[in-house]
Chains A and B, each alone.
Chain A
Amino acid sequence: TEPQTTDPIGSETPKSEKTDKTKIEIRLKANGNATNYMKKKKWAVDPDKKISSIMEFVKKNVMKGEVEKSAFLYVNQSFAPAPDQIVKNLYECYGTDGKLVLHYCKTQAWG
């Protein structure tokens, strides 16, 4: 149940068509006290993927044992989506330039 890691999208990939089957490009950006960074920042994920699986992915692959409970993910550097929110809804509302940017950190930020 992790975001797909084997299928990076080139930045030139046209994103004009948004159908249910098209994968969505997400960018994971470290914030503040997240000390481990990923070289790879772009991921192509299934539109119906839940935020909880991306939280798990960040916890396992980026923060490698740094956090006990969970990683925190933020949209627009302002709010934390519910773990069962799906990527498609966030992309529809907060996606820019064909991608959805999510900031991750190991403690609560932005209230």
Chain B
Amino acid sequence: MANDREVLREIWEGRLPVCFQLNSEETYSLQAPDAYYLMVPRLSYFPLVTDKVRKHFLKYINPEKQEAEMWLDFNGQPLRWHYPIGVLFDMYASDIQLPWNITVHFDKFPEDELLHCPSREVVESHFMSCIKEADVLKHRSQVVSNMQKKDHNQLWLGLQNDKFDQFWAVNRKLMEASGEEVFKYIPFRCYRGDGPFVQHLVRPVTEEGQKKTLHHLISEVFPNETDLHVMTHGIEPPWETPLQWLSEHLSYPDNFLHLCIQTS
């Protein structure tokens, strides 16, 4: 299980400075609104941290748009609310200067590119689905289905309220290899460019029982490719990092490793 608590803590405390600005074409008032600055947790999701952003800009937009769903873009690229914030940042990291400038919209929702997020419950159900999927990969879904509803709630509330101890008291059960030494498969998603992410079945050990590393994962998913860089949580983990350790310590709260792939 996840033993290196300091690493878990560091990962949990990752924050990004964001400068939110209203799309200038949507300013309805005479006076342009001030930008709104926030430090946001990398592990969270935008709909969980932007209530105040919405409130700040509402008085500057068309009164008819007061009930409209807010959405965000960076450099003209709509930001998917169902990806953790840190993943979105790492995807575009090479183009970003801090603070991260994000444009706020209430109009012209990009239906083809974004999923709707009418409420926090939608985020919760997406988050829990990811945890269940990860558990299918790790433990054939045995751990999550043996949990009680209150454990599921605790995971969600721990994330939503940014409570490390609350979250990890339950998450540690999901990060145990349950009797065996390793997970069955490593839950991960690889992001490259703007296309859909890539998922494969990758075991944490070779057929001979040797520990696999990040290097194994990358060469299994992107065979015959060289000069790739892997970014997660704003760092490039060493390629010799064992996959089992990586999964236990550098997974997002949804229990997936989210790896952003760049070509050098």
- A-side residues, CB < 8 A to B, are 48, 50, 75-76, 78-86, 89-90, 92-94, 108, 110-111
Contact = CB atoms under 8 A, between A and B. Distances in A.
A94 B141 CA distance: 13
Interface stretch (B9-17, B196-204, B243-251): B196-204
A12 B174 CA distance: 39
A93 B82 contact: no
Nearest to B114: A84
B141 A92 contact: no
B129 A81 contact: yes
Contacts of A48: 196
Interface of B: 80, 82, 115, 125-126, 128-130, 132-133, 136-137, 141, 145, 152, 185, 196-201
A84 B114 CA distance: 9
B132 A92 contact: no
Contacts of A81: 129, 133
6 contacts: A75-B133, A76-B141, A79-B136, A81-B133, A108-B125, A110-B132
Nearest to A92: B200
A79 B152 contact: no
Q: Which of B82, B132, B133, B196 has the most CB of A within 10 A?
A: B133
A89 B129 contact: no
Contacts of A86: 196
Contacts of B197: 89
Contacts of B137: 93
Given A84-B115, A93-B137, A93-B200, A111 B132 contact: yes
Contacts of A50: 196
